[in-house]
Chain A
Amino acid sequence: KAGVTQTPRYLIKTRGQQVTLSCSPISGHRSVSWYQQTPGQGLQFLFEYFSETQRNKGNFPGRFSGRQFSNSRSEMNVSTLELGDSALYLCASRFHTDTQYFGPGTRLTVL
């Protein structure tokens, strides 16, 4: 079974721009979660989608948004990028309440 895939793997943007990251979950997994990982704050939960609906949300500003499609693929969008948004963005999928399986991440650098 193929694992969780994320595209792109690396991204460089400038302040004020917006970015869209993509995540394809493991086949059969309907839950997709997004996390931001930084050296200072660690792994922080952004949101979780299940069957195209946002099920949970972390404490991030409205500039961070996401969506999930009928094939369970998910996208995350960050608008008006700030320097502090530079991070590794990880996507994870799971089947119901089972273990989460993480993708390789997208490394976003904001200049």
Chain B
Amino acid sequence: ELKVEQNPLFLSMQEGKNYTIYCNYSTTSDRLYWYRQDPGKSLESLFVLLSNGAVKQEGRLMASLDTKARLSTLHITAAVHDLSATYFCAVNTLRDDKIIFGKGTRLHILP
């Protein structure tokens, strides 16, 4: 069964700092997604990573994928308060293309 683990689950950081969220998954997959969820809101798609070594960047967020290590990272550069949210990674199962989510990383950026 595919398991998706994120860490840390909670992160409080100062504005201006850099940090990385990690997403490990347990079996082979061919797609990894990152989503953002603001409190009381739905999920917003950030990135889709399709191949080993894929890197995507949008503003202060950069996501990368290492399929051999079954690891994706979401790197935050010079954090700003607006990035406070919960970030989810999700992975599809190859056998039946089910999409399984990690528990999410709750990011709180202090001014």
Contacts and interface: CB of A to CB of B under 8 A. Distances in A.
Given A43-B88, A97-B31, A90 B42 contact: yes
Interface centre among A56, A90, A98, A104 (most CB of B within 10 A): A56
Contacts, number: 43
Contact of B98 (A56, A101, A103, A104): A56
Interface majority SS on A: helix, strand, loop or mixed? strand
Interface of B: 31, 33, 35, 41-45, 48, 88, 92, 96-104
Contacts of A98: 48
A55 to B, nearest CB: 8
A50 B101 CA distance: 20
Contacts of B99: 33, 45, 100
B98 A90 contact: no
A72 B103 CA distance: 29
